[in-house]
Amino acid sequence: MTMLTAEATTYAVRLESVTKTYGPVTALDGVTWPFPRGGFTAVMGPSGSGKSTFLHCASGLDRPTSGTVRIGETDIGRLSEAKRTRLRRERIGFVFQSFNLVPSMDVEQNITLPLQLGGTRADPAWLDEVVRRVGLGDRLGHRPSELSGGQQQRAALARALVTRPEVVFADEPTGALDPRTAREVLRLLRETVDETGQTVVLVTHDPAAAAWADSVLFLDRGRIVEELASPSAASVAARWESL
Ligand SMILES: Nc1ncnc2c1ncn2[C@@H]1O[C@H](COP(=O)(O)OP(=O)(O)OP(=O)(O)O)[C@@H](O)[C@H]1O
């Protein structure tokens, strides 16, 4: 029992022999990987290598064809659809390339939406902290259409953090941003790990983005083919080109 608890606190997400097939296509092929709690991991790979499938299976958005995915100590394959939805809302944060903010809601309503859906209220101190961190204190009453792309993504990041999730999955979060704005968003993801001890999994095509992580996983044809620790943009780009 003691060992189980120790293991559960060590890893935020664990995949064991995760395979996902779509008819004849094997999108993920027996992936086993533990994501350490408080780590920042980037996932890279060529188009069609299985990155989106990986993210969807690891975050409980989709079910693997076989294998096990655990968030902390919860085997999410054993949960009903309703419980999986609740787990995603309460324990996982999502950031997407396209921001996915609700256009009719202002920034504050967007940020607190996950709490509202879960029937809880914001802890005011934490909400203040999240808003301060993303630098949107003077924009809370604005609609998403009144914000720049970088501000919209920062609002989306605040929404992802407001429930204090154990793990944040970011799918190409900087894909629609210019390099400078992209760096702001990556710096915020880095701070999430360094200051709050949360876990970040970032899917990206961009070696400069991946270099913000503690380690980079390379996917090829549905398998993890390499892990690059302490990455730099140059070392990631060099490995990327040899895939
Ligand atoms: N819903 C689906 N139905 C059928 N095949 C799918 C489906 N989703 C993904 N695939 C296939 O699974 C493989 C992996 O796709 P996936 O989208 O995970 O790759 P990716 O690395 O995210 O690609 P990209 O970088 O182009 O977004 C591809 O061959 C793709 O065509």
Ligand 1: distance of its center to the CA of 59 in Å?
Answer: 16
**Structure pTM?**
0.92
Q: Is the pLDDT reported for residue 203 higher than 90?
A: yes
In this predicted structure, what is the pLDDT of residue 190? 97
**Average confidence score pLDDT of the chain:** 93
- Ligand 1 atom with least separation from CA of 53: 18
The proportion of the chain whose per-residue pLDDT surpasses 70, expressed as a percent, equals 96
Q: How many Å apart are CA 1 and CA 163, to the nearest integer?
A: 28
Q: Is the pLDDT reported for residue 110 higher than 90?
A: yes
Neighbours of 79 (CB within 10 A): 16
Q: Is the pLDDT reported for residue 196 higher than 60?
A: yes
Ligand 1: distance of its center to the CA of 183 in Å?
Answer: 27
Q: Is the pLDDT reported for residue 159 higher than 60?
A: yes
Q: Is the pLDDT reported for residue 1 higher than 80?
A: no
Measured CA angle at 140 (ends 134, 146), to 5 deg: 95
* Residue 170, helix vs strand vs coil: strand
In this predicted structure, what is the pLDDT of residue 242? 83
The predicted-structure confidence for 27-42, as pLDDT tens digits, reads as follows 999 999 999 999 999 9
In this predicted structure, what is the pLDDT of residue 9? 60
Average pLDDT over residues 154-174: 95
Q: State which of 20, 31, 47, 52 you would mutate to test the pocket of ligand 1, scoring each by most atoms of that ligand within 8 A of its C-beta.
A: 52
Helix axes 124-134, 149-161, angle to 10 degrees: 150
Q: Is the pLDDT reported for residue 5 higher than 70?
A: no
- DSSP label at 61? S
Q: Is the pLDDT reported for residue 44 higher than 90?
A: yes
Ligand 1: distance of its center to the CA of 22 in Å?
Answer: 9
Q: How confident is the model at residue 71 (pLDDT cuts 50, 70, 90)?
A: very high
207 lines ligand 1 (CB under 6 A): no
- Cα separation values, 154 from 71, 93, 159, 213, 239, Å: 25, 13, 9, 18, 30
77 lines ligand 1 (CB under 6 A): no
The answer to whether residues 139 and 147 touch, using CB atoms and an 8 Å cutoff, is yes
Average pLDDT over residues 122-129: 91
Residue nearest atom 31 of ligand 1, based on CA coordinates: 48
Question: CATH class for domain 2-241?
Answer: alpha beta
Q: Is the pLDDT reported for residue 168 higher than 90?
A: yes
Q: Is the pLDDT reported for residue 8 higher than 50?
A: no
Q: How many Å apart are CA 27 and CA 81, to the nearest integer?
A: 22
Q: 123-141 burial string, b = 16+ CB within 10 Å, else e? A: eeeebebbbebbebeebbe
In this predicted structure, what is the pLDDT of residue 36? 94
What value of ipTM does the predicted structure carry?
0.96
- Cα separation values, 162 from 10, 14, 86, Å: 23, 23, 15
The proportion of the chain whose per-residue pLDDT surpasses 90, expressed as a percent, equals 87
Tokens of 139: 């924009």
Domain ranges of the chain: 2-241
